[in-house]
Amino acid sequence: MTTPPTPSRAASVPGLAEELRISIARLSRRLRTLRPATEGERGGPGPLSLTQLAALAAIERNGSMTPRELADHEKVQPPSMTRVIAYLEERGLVARSPHPTDGRQVVLNATEAGIALLADERRRKEAWLARRLGELTDDEREILRRAAPIIDRLSRS
C-alpha cells in the first residue's frame, strides 16, 4: 500500500515530471546524434533511419516476426513497414523465411550483418555514455545506478 501524497510531495510531482521529460528527451536526442552521418562503418550505404533501426532492433529482440506483427509492434501501417522491410532486406540486414505453420506468411529474422550493425550502434552509444558517466562524482553515479531501474519501470508502464 502506498502512502497518500502530502501537499508538498504532490506539488513536486508535476515539476519532477517536467524535469525528467526534458532531461530524457535531451539525452535521447544526444544519443541519436552519435550515429554515423554519412557512409556506414562497413562501407555500405548511409545509416539507417530511426524507423529502420527500430524495426531491425524489434526483429532482433523478438527473434522472428511476421511483417504484420512488426508493423503492429512499431505502430505503423503495413504498407509503410513493407518499404522498411524491403530496404533492410536489400541491405542484407533481415532475411525472410517461410512461416512455420502458415504457408501464406513469412517471418523476418535479423541476419548476422543486422545483428552486427545493432551491436556497433549500441557500442558507440554506450561508450559515449560511459565517458560522460566517468565525468560524474561517485555519489552522482550511485544516484543514477539507483534511478536506472525506476526509469526503466516507468518506460514499461
pLDDT category of residue 67 using cuts at 50, 70 and 90? very high
The CATH class, in words, for 45-126 is mainly alpha
pLDDT reading at 126 higher than 50: yes
Q: Where are the beta strands (DSSP E) in 56-126?
A: 94-98, 106-110
| Residue 63 or residue 140, greater confidence | 140
Is 87:47 a contact under the CB 8 Å cutoff?
no
Spatial distance between the Cα atoms of 53 and 120, rounded to a whole number of angstroms? 12
Mean pLDDT of 12-24: 88
pLDDT reading at 64 higher than 50: yes
* Partner residues linked to 157 by β-bridges: none
For position 56, what pLDDT does the model report? 96
pLDDT reading at 123 higher than 90: yes
Domain borders along the chain are: 45-126
pLDDT category of residue 33 using cuts at 50, 70 and 90? confident
What global pTM score does this model have?
0.74
CA angle 118, 143, 140 (to 5 degrees): 90
For position 46, what pLDDT does the model report? 66
pLDDT reading at 39 higher than 80: no
In sign, the C-alpha dihedral spanning 41, 47, 53, 56 is negative
| Residue 32 or residue 1, greater confidence | 32
Spatial distance between the Cα atoms of 50 and 32, rounded to a whole number of angstroms? 8
For position 140, what pLDDT does the model report? 96
pLDDT reading at 103 higher than 60: yes
Residue 123, CB half-sphere, CA atoms under 13 Å: how many?
Answer: 7
Q: List CB contacts of 96: < 8 A, sequence separation 6 or more.
A: 89, 106, 107, 108
Mean pLDDT of 28-54: 72
The mean of the pLDDT values for the chain is: 86
